[in-house]
Structure 1
Amino acid sequence: MNKVLKTLLIADIACLVLVAVFFLLLQGKLFKTPTSYVVEASNGHLLSAAIAADGQWRFPVVDTVPAKFRDCIIAFEDKRFYSHFGVDFLAMSRAMRQNLKANGIVSGGSTLTMQVIRLSRKQDRTVWQKAIEVLLALRLELKYSKQEILALYAANAPFGSNVVGLDAASWRYYGRAANTLSWGETATLAVLPNSPSLVHPGKNAPRLIKKRNDLLDKLVTLHFIDQSTANLSKLEPIPGKPLPLPQNAPHLLNRFKAERTTLQVASTRIKSTLDEDIQLRLNAILKRYNNRYRANDINNISALILNAKTGTVVSYVGNSYQPENADLQSHVDMIKAPRSPGSTLKPLLYASMLNDGFILPHTLIPDIPTQIAGYSPQNYDLGYDGAISADKALSRSLNIPAVKMLQQYKYERFYDKLKKLGIGTLNQPADHYGLSLILGGSEVTMWDLANTYMGMVRTLNHFNRYKGLYDPNDYRAANYIETNERENKNYQLNSLLDHGSIWATFNAMEEVMRPGDEGLWEQFSSSQRVAWKTGTSFGFRDAWAVGVTPDYVVCVWVGNADGEGRPGLVGVETAAPVLFDIFKLLPNGKWFATPATKLRRIKVCKQSGYKAGEYCVDVIDELVPTSGEKTSVCPFHKLVHLNAEGTLRVTDQCESVTKMQHKSWFILPPAMEYYYKIKNGDYRSLPPFMPGCDVSDANALMELIYPKNGATVYIPLELDGSRGKIVLNAAHRNQSSKIYWHIDNEYVATTTNYHQLAVSPSPGKHTLTLVDENGQRLVQYFTVLDKEKKAPK
């Protein structure tokens, strides 16, 4: 009895072990072969694909198999697929009889389930391996559904040459997705895995046609199709040479390959957020402009469209893709490439200064020759306005006012703000960039720039939706992969830029133009209102245009991937026309709603754009960002004392107070006044002082425009090798006054009306003394570098 029990116990244990081993089979991933990277549009259509690492065109497994292919492959390979458990013993016994009779292998009898196992193991076809396949097929049926097994087969079956899987075969042989194929086309593909080395498109065409037609007849017998469908399908041609796969978003495909691990995407196939129609049309637009610009050796162009409402990528063209010409470097994704942003950061500074209470929308900003620690910015047209409102300085993209604004705001503060807004390429300390940060002295990527502008658009759009609160995720980078993320509910009271500041900035950006091209912007027609900004980097290496509406952000870059500059590579001339052609592709929508509760109506001096002071005469009510209440009052309107006739200024030393007139006067500093009155004919200079009045403040009368006090200057050599000259420039409030110039206490010259003087002082430190005809003195210092030393940057 004990022996019997012992035997039964051993048998039970053995059974348990066998059962455990059976269930432990097929652990982990069944197929470990590499798959092609595939990017689909938002409608599921193929945009781009790349060959797998092993040189095979093999797409990842899909959830469903097209009904036609399912019916064809079941009819051809395994008609009892839905009734067996992985092994069709009837088919196997029939195959054994046929093989014995033929004295060789003429039939396999393998089910689709067994073929999936064989494809995953890639072992020699022996009796022993067949037995293992039977066991694993039974286990596979317990682990996967019939639909999943069909999907595994369709994705991994060989289709001739280096084509693996139905999806890849459909595109390689027919140039379309598998679910769009006809019965004849599907039947052709269904017979290929049975003998891919002998029968594939381009070879043995009669045999391929016969196998396809036999399958079509079988489909009629099994009542999958009727006879007329089969007859028509037999007339269809078989494919010839394999076709190239679409490459309509190759740069996004490469981006996905590089970011897949970071994005934690398991499959090498993604359904992107790209709109197929817009992507194809954008490719055509960029190719057209690229062909035009190449005549000037401008070889590359890229564009990015973001949907601000959804925070997704609508279109991604990293370069006008022309792989047939390797010299064009069209494979380089310029959306990811760090480049000089030119003037495209100026709206961000304008918005930041509004947000932090430094300026109001129309505050006057100095526009005069400027030298700051050896740095001398220049406007695009090399001219000066003396003073210009902040919004006009932005719309005209003037460099000197931008530098003056950054000097006031502090470049360290702006540097920190840019990093928080999402500009991720600022890898050096703030001091490395200095004031040149606002004129393109750093690098940005189109991706960061577009996403920063999208964050501003989203913040303004969400004003009503979030009841005046802010969503910190508004500045998160756009998604290019379809997701089902839930909306963030953690709204905040404060943001990097408030609603009112963004609203005012977009208003200023509506009519952006570049100096020297004031009429050019009128050539750009658009069916919708667009806030836009252009940019040109130093040396004409990068041309930019970025535009926003409540629905979209569009960013365009034109240039050469290798950084070579070209004459005429200017944002308004090369990038802006592309920008507006792109906006024509996009639906028209409403303009931004006014965030009334985030604006304050205050008294503003119309002439200066500052908060009105007690001496401002022309005062208007204006909606400004809430922080505008913190700005300073107008510094340019002052009370002046005139004689009874109002023709001369006086003091109590030379005129009785009872005889004085007291009048508000708009007074700019001498250097600003010097240029301002040239372009503003209604500007009234201060009357001169009455003779005998003691005026002790020479700085109020005279100002040295160049060089500034303490400046370091460099005098270059002329073409003939002789030493050049520097032009000293001063302004006097009384234009008819004479100025006597002295260098190192030695008289040099006298100027009247226009106070400019060309001199060539020796290297070293010098004292410059200006004396007017009334004896008022202005003393300043400057240093001339030795000619062997380099000029300051």
Structure 2
Amino acid sequence: MIGFRGKRGDWIGLVAAPLFILFLVWAADKIWPLPLREVSPARVVVAHDGVPLWRFADADGIWRYPVTIEEVSPRYLEALINYEDRWFWKHPGVNPFSVLRAAWQDLSSGRVVSGGSTLTMQVARLLDPHPRTFGGKFRQLWRALQLEWHLSKRDILTLYLNRAPFGGTLQGIGAASWAYLGKPPMQLSYSEAALLAVLPQAPSRLRPDRWPERAQAARNKVLERMATQGIWSAKSVQESREEPVWLSPRKMPQLAPLFSRMMLGKSKSDKIVTTLDAGLQYQLEELAQTWKGRLPARSSLAMIVVDHTDMSVRGWVGSVDLNDDSRFGHVNMVNATRSPGSLLKPFIYGLALDDGLIHPASLLQDVPRRTGDYRPGNFDSGFHGPVSMSEALVRSLNLPAVQVLEAYGPKRFAAKLHNAGLPLYLPAGAAPNLSLILGGAGAKLDEMTAAWSAFARHGKAGTLRLQPDDPLQERPLMSPGAAWIIRRIMADEAQPLPDNSLPRIAPLAWKTGTSYGYRDAWAIGINARYIIGVWTGRPDGTPVVGQFGFASAVPLLNQVNNILQARTTVQPEDPRPPSVSQGVICWPGGQSLPAGEPNCRRRLATWLLDGSQPPTLLLPEQEGINGIRFPVWLDDSGKRVAADCPQAREQTLIVWPLPLEPWLPASERRASRLPPVSTTCPPLGQGALLPLQLTGVLDGAILRRLPGTPEASLPIQTRGGTEERWWFLNGERLQERGRNITLRVAEKGEYQLLVMDDAGQVATVRFTLQ
């Protein structure tokens, strides 16, 4: 029994001992896990083709360019494995023969002479640095076994590729290849692969940019090994030995700093791949530097280039100079909120086309107006009277845009843009109003540029794609026909042409914007493939006298367009949509009329959307119930008579909108257009028609308010004319209807007072209140 128990105890001990050892190993693995995760890892932002743009070092100042095995040249992998660890794919993390040889050498000399390290052991030392002692070697062996236990050989090799030291703050073959050679690690030659394979053995002593002779000797040693082992052909090795090792100082990625910093918050990856084009980005930043000296003090600029075929961002310059604190170079002005000036005008015209309010040749009114306390004016401080929608857009006239926005509705307009991805930033509690169209709300250059893609993407506004994996998203904003018409107008092709004469590749279409007080100057352009957004101004929002879109932003826009044209080989076509046709309309009615029709005072050729010819858009309460269509009754001799006169026949007379009278020749004014009155059967209330005259203030007078009074009071009288009177101040209809009124004016500025009688006679006077 005793013998049996002894044998049984030995058997239990034999089983328990390995289990206990396995438990200790398991416990040690849990207590001292592999330090694979970094608290603040090194990260890099790269262009769409892998070119590094900007690097962000880790806590120790190290920067890496993460790669996979497939992204590294097979030549480098061959040189690395056959020179460093021929049995890498077969040993369990430790090569016992190499360890025994190294141990014997170390014991014989009394110091560490050879490490016998495998690639796995080198990765272990990189993950968990240790002193070069016997205790440190044991710690390295333990980590190597842990690596083999938890990771595959491919994972371990990938760790080496990204953690091996290459001198200074460089780690990994990716960072070394780009910094030393300016190329991706997939494109390494035999000579370059051998050089970078040996460099981690002594990265400081062998740095090729500092010690080219040492680096060349070490490289040749690797080449000889590859030839001896028959890995590379003798010819390839001989040609590689003849290549000298001489490298310029290391190249650190220094492109798109503000864009790269923004991308850190959009991705958690160590290598953030973007849609930027590194070559284009370099040209844009060089262009920004050349413009720096031309900008006023404390001014900056911003540029963005988007490929509107897929909405990928190709270029992004957030400031003129990152290191210039006087110009707030650290502020990314591409996504800063600024006043866009007139950049929203193309949208309101396009939406109004779809709504049937106007067509490109619609008669609009560039006349003085006041809506409540809002009194818009033009950039040139003048007024141009009758203008077409196309002319108003090309010349960026303010009053016609306000007129169309008033008809469309500012709240509806803002909501439409917001739904398409262009929010307008208003002060807290403020509602959209007519000032929107002239820059009365904030916008961002990146969002504005994205919304402008609707003019190139058949009416659908796309969302910017910053990374290749970002999906293409777009939202409808306007019809393809409206988008095409507006784009062609901005490209100076408002005049319709036959399809065989119409360029199928649209030329550059552009628009400027200048904010109130010359604080911001914008320009956005669309060529056959790209959208270009440009902003200049002071980031702190202070005015820059003399800075406006055409003078400050358009020259920069044209230079960017020239760069893009030189780089572009394929240009998409822009054919006319089926919904767009040619037409001829007449002013002042705004619709087609037969040849010889007396109501056609001026004919205009134009593009039409779905064949629609909306009548002339009038201002609210501008005319009577019949608008500008005056019914008159004529006798056989063509004179005006009363409706109940014998042989009276009705005829419609289309007249010009009343506020346009001062800009019309005398023959086109209502008094001249109305036929003479019959003496035998005059219209009711019509006798001898005396000329309408206005008295009380001289034309061109300069007036001042009396001391202590908040407003100027002007008694105005009229003489002659017929009984009824309509009064207009700066194009806005007044409530007064009598022959004599008292006009009260409080604000300083220029005024136009106009009075009209029911016979169509008009009298005007201009004065200035100081």
Q: TM-score scaled by structure 1?
A: 0.76
Letter aligned with residue 436 of structure 1: S
Match of 1:59 among 53, 65, 81: 65
1:665 partnered with 2:665: no
Letter aligned with residue 584 of structure 1: Q
Give 3-state SS (helix, strand or coil) of 1:539's partner.
helix
Match of 2:718 among 771, 781, 790: 771
Counterparts of 1:503 and 1:202, CA distance in 2: 56
Change (3 A) 1:478 1:643: same
Counterparts of 1:431 and 1:308, CA distance in 2: 33
Letter aligned with residue 571 of structure 1: G
- Equivalent residue, structure 2, for 1:113: 120
Counterparts of 2:67 and 2:667, CA distance in 1: 69
Counterparts of 2:670 and 2:79, CA distance in 1: 87
Letter aligned with residue 62 of structure 1: T
Counterparts of 1:215 and 1:293, CA distance in 2: 54
Counterparts of 1:155 and 1:680, CA distance in 2: 81
1:760 partnered with 2:704: yes
- Equivalent residue, structure 2, for 1:483: 469
- Equivalent residue, structure 2, for 1:575: 553
Match of 1:153 among 160, 164, 167: 160
- Equivalent residue, structure 2, for 1:532: 510
Letter aligned with residue 110 of structure 2: N
- Equivalent residue, structure 2, for 1:166: 173
- Equivalent residue, structure 2, for 1:406: 405
Render the CA deviation track for 1:548-599: whole Å, top value 9, x for unaligned.
2563322222334344544443322333333344152334635433332x56
Change (3 A) 1:786 1:371: closer
CA contact under 8 A between 1:35 and 1:268: conserved in structure 2? yes
CA contact under 8 A between 1:209 and 1:238: conserved in structure 2? yes
- Equivalent residue, structure 2, for 1:353: 352
Give 3-state SS (helix, strand or coil) of 1:374's partner.
coil
CA contact under 8 A between 1:357 and 1:627: conserved in structure 2? no
Counterparts of 1:317 and 1:533, CA distance in 2: 20
Change (3 A) 1:143 1:532: same
Counterparts of 2:417 and 2:299, CA distance in 1: 30
Q: How far is the alpha carbon of 1:20 from its aligned partner?
A: 5.5
User: What aligned pairs does 1:739-750 form with structure 2 within 5 A after superposition?
Assistant: 739-741=694-696, 749=697
1:594 partnered with 2:576: yes
Match of 1:553 among 514, 531, 536: 531
Change (3 A) 1:375 1:165: same
Render the CA deviation track for 1:159-199: whole Å, top value 9, x for unaligned.
22222222222333344433444444443333332233554
CA contact under 8 A between 2:461 and 2:476: conserved in structure 1? no
Change (3 A) 1:764 1:627: farther
Name structure 1 gaps, 5 residues minimum: 461-473, 514-524, 698-732, 742-748
Give 3-state SS (helix, strand or coil) of 1:423's partner.
coil
Structure 1 stretch 247-256 or stretch 20-29: which is displaced more?
20-29
State the Cα RMSD in Å: 4.3
- Equivalent residue, structure 2, for 1:705: none
Change (3 A) 1:633 1:76: closer
Give 3-state SS (helix, strand or coil) of 2:553's partner.
helix
Counterparts of 2:428 and 2:187, CA distance in 1: 56
Q: When the two structures are aligned, how many residues end up with a matched partner? A: 699
- Equivalent residue, structure 1, for 2:631: 639
1:510 partnered with 2:510: no
Counterparts of 1:628 and 1:360, CA distance in 2: 7
Structure 1 stretch 580-589 or stretch 405-414: which is displaced more?
580-589
Give 3-state SS (helix, strand or coil) of 1:246's partner.
coil
Counterparts of 1:570 and 1:69, CA distance in 2: 55
Change (3 A) 1:588 1:172: closer
- Equivalent residue, structure 1, for 2:335: 336
Change (3 A) 1:563 1:678: farther
Counterparts of 1:70 and 1:679, CA distance in 2: 89
- Equivalent residue, structure 1, for 2:590: 609
Letter aligned with residue 484 of structure 2: W
Give 3-state SS (helix, strand or coil) of 2:175's partner.
helix
Counterparts of 2:536 and 2:504, CA distance in 1: 21
Structure 1 stretch 376-385 or stretch 344-353: which is displaced more?
376-385
Counterparts of 2:332 and 2:143, CA distance in 1: 46
CA contact under 8 A between 1:546 and 1:555: conserved in structure 2? yes
Change (3 A) 1:616 1:114: farther
Counterparts of 1:684 and 1:247, CA distance in 2: 71
Q: How far is the alpha carbon of 1:439 from its aligned partner?
A: 0.8
Counterparts of 2:336 and 2:516, CA distance in 1: 17
Q: How far is the alpha carbon of 1:308 from its aligned partner?
A: 1.9
User: What aligned pairs does 1:289-304 form with structure 2 within 5 A after superposition?
Assistant: 290=291, 293-294=294-295, 297=297, 299-304=299-304
Render the CA deviation track for 1:473-524: whole Å, top value 9, x for unaligned.
x545211211174x78xx9xx94422333233223322299xxxxxxxxxxx
Give 3-state SS (helix, strand or coil) of 1:388's partner.
strand
Counterparts of 1:26 and 1:427, CA distance in 2: 56
Structure 1 stretch 122-131 or stretch 106-115: which is displaced more?
122-131
Give 3-state SS (helix, strand or coil) of 1:555's partner.
strand
Letter aligned with residue 554 of structure 2: A
Change (3 A) 1:349 1:199: same
Change (3 A) 1:477 1:683: farther
Render the CA deviation track for 1:444-475: whole Å, top value 9, x for unaligned.
11100111111443244xxxxxxxxxxxxx54
Give 3-state SS (helix, strand or coil) of 2:335's partner.
coil
CA contact under 8 A between 1:47 and 1:248: conserved in structure 2? yes
Counterparts of 1:630 and 1:3, CA distance in 2: 106
- Equivalent residue, structure 1, for 2:315: 315
Change (3 A) 1:83 1:13: closer
Name structure 2 gaps, 5 residues minimum: 495-502, 619-626, 724-738, 750-768
Give 3-state SS (helix, strand or coil) of 1:301's partner.
strand
Change (3 A) 1:177 1:128: same
Change (3 A) 1:351 1:686: same
Q: How far is the alpha carbon of 1:69 from its aligned partner?
A: 2.7
Q: How far is the alpha carbon of 1:393 from its aligned partner?
A: 1.1
Counterparts of 1:407 and 1:356, CA distance in 2: 13
Match of 1:275 among 274, 277, 281: 277
Counterparts of 2:115 and 2:77, CA distance in 1: 20
Give 3-state SS (helix, strand or coil) of 2:302's partner.
strand
Counterparts of 2:483 and 2:382, CA distance in 1: 29
Q: Percent same amino acid at aligned positions? A: 28
- Equivalent residue, structure 2, for 1:516: none
Change (3 A) 1:506 1:210: closer
Letter aligned with residue 631 of structure 2: L
Give 3-state SS (helix, strand or coil) of 1:638's partner.
strand
CA contact under 8 A between 2:456 and 2:484: conserved in structure 1? no
Render the CA deviation track for 1:344-384: whole Å, top value 9, x for unaligned.
11011112222333333332222111122222211122222
Match of 2:144 among 131, 137, 142: 137
Counterparts of 1:252 and 1:685, CA distance in 2: 63
Structure 1 stretch 341-350 or stretch 359-368: which is displaced more?
359-368
Change (3 A) 1:143 1:739: same
Change (3 A) 1:603 1:161: closer
Q: How far is the alpha carbon of 1:687 from its aligned partner?
A: 5.5
Letter aligned with residue 381 of structure 1: D
- Equivalent residue, structure 2, for 1:212: 219
Give 3-state SS (helix, strand or coil) of 1:639's partner.
strand
Render the CA deviation track for 1:656-696: whole Å, top value 9, x for unaligned.
73476754433234322212448989996446767896788
- Equivalent residue, structure 1, for 2:621: none
Letter aligned with residue 130 of structure 1: K
CA contact under 8 A between 2:112 and 2:133: conserved in structure 1? no
Give 3-state SS (helix, strand or coil) of 2:430's partner.
helix
Render the CA deviation track for 1:107-135: whole Å, top value 9, x for unaligned.
11111111111211123344344334334
